[in-house]
Amino acid sequence: MPPNAEVERGKAVRRRRSKLWLLVPLALLALAALAYVVAAPYLTLLDLDAAVRARNAAAVAEHVDFARLRDNLKQQVERFVVEKSGEHQNTLMAGLALGVASNLADTLVDSYVTPEGLARLMSGERPDTASGWSAQTGRLFEDASYAYESANRFVVSVPAVAGGDIEFVLTRSGIATWRLSDIEIPLAR
């Protein structure tokens, strides 16, 4: 092999190695970005927990889609009333219950969807129509389980004092921003 060919081959090997060294930092950067995106809902929950504990309504509002949350909870309450009134179909009482369901849902949801109400739900309490709330249990997200249901939906399940699980649903808003958009409360059936 001519000496120039060996020199050229050595230069080609060095160029490939230098390109590889450029790829390593890029790969590490991509891995760090992916880790941040995957951890984003957990970071949102930590921020939300701190905001709720500090009773900082502005900080809570950054992590909660209140309009969507209220709509979802109102639909949940209305479904519950419709299911209960379905047991007594074609009665005057069922008609009245359906007529009042929307107003009842508005009143209940508006009174519970506050920073304090969220804190109580996050600690496992559930609304009680007689007293307003079941007994307070302690810290936020106590004994919770966390899971991605899809790339855009993250669910935190907190055991409720009265049974069942309260599910806090975060939805993606952008690449790494998550907002609380639904709370599924186990209503007495």
Query: Looking at the domain assignment, is residue 43 inside a domain?
Result: yes
Q: Which residue has the higher pLDDT, 128 or 145?
A: 145
What does the pLDDT read at residue 7?
A: 60
Query: Looking at the domain assignment, is residue 15 inside a domain?
Result: no
CB burial of residue 68 (10 Å; 0-12, 13-18, 19+): middle
Q: Can you give the residue range of the structural domain that contains 157?
A: 38-184
Query: Looking at the domain assignment, is residue 98 inside a domain?
Result: yes
What does the pLDDT read at residue 137?
A: 47
- Residue 136, sorted as left (phi over 0), alpha (psi -120 to 50) or beta, turns out to be beta
Using the CB atoms, write b or e for 75-110: b if 16+ within 10 Å. ebbbebbeeebeeeeeeeebeebeeebeebbeebbe
Q: Which residue has the higher pLDDT, 141 or 7?
A: 141
pTM: 0.72
Q: How confident is the model at residue 135 (pLDDT cuts 50, 70, 90)?
A: very low
| Residue in 124, 112, 118, 116 with CA at minimum distance from that of residue 157 | 124
Reading the block at residue 182, the tokens are 């639904």
What does the pLDDT read at residue 115?
A: 72
3-state secondary structure of 182: strand
Q: What is the pLDDT of residues 136-180, one digit of tens each?
A: 445 677 788 999 999 999 999 988 777 788 899 999 988 889 999
Instruction: Give the position of tokens 């921003």.
Output: 177
Query: Looking at the domain assignment, is residue 22 inside a domain?
Result: no
Spell out the residues 6+ positions from residue 91 whose beta carbon is closer than 8 angstroms to its own.
none
Q: Which residue has the higher pLDDT, 93 or 60?
A: 60
DSSP string for residues in 111-173:
HHSSHHHHHHHHTT--EETTTEE-----STTTT-EEEEEETTEEEEEEE-TTSSEEEEEEEE-
Number of domains the chain contains? 1
Query: Looking at the domain assignment, is residue 4 inside a domain?
Result: no
Q: How confident is the model at residue 2 (pLDDT cuts 50, 70, 90)?
A: low
Query: Looking at the domain assignment, is residue 78 inside a domain?
Result: yes
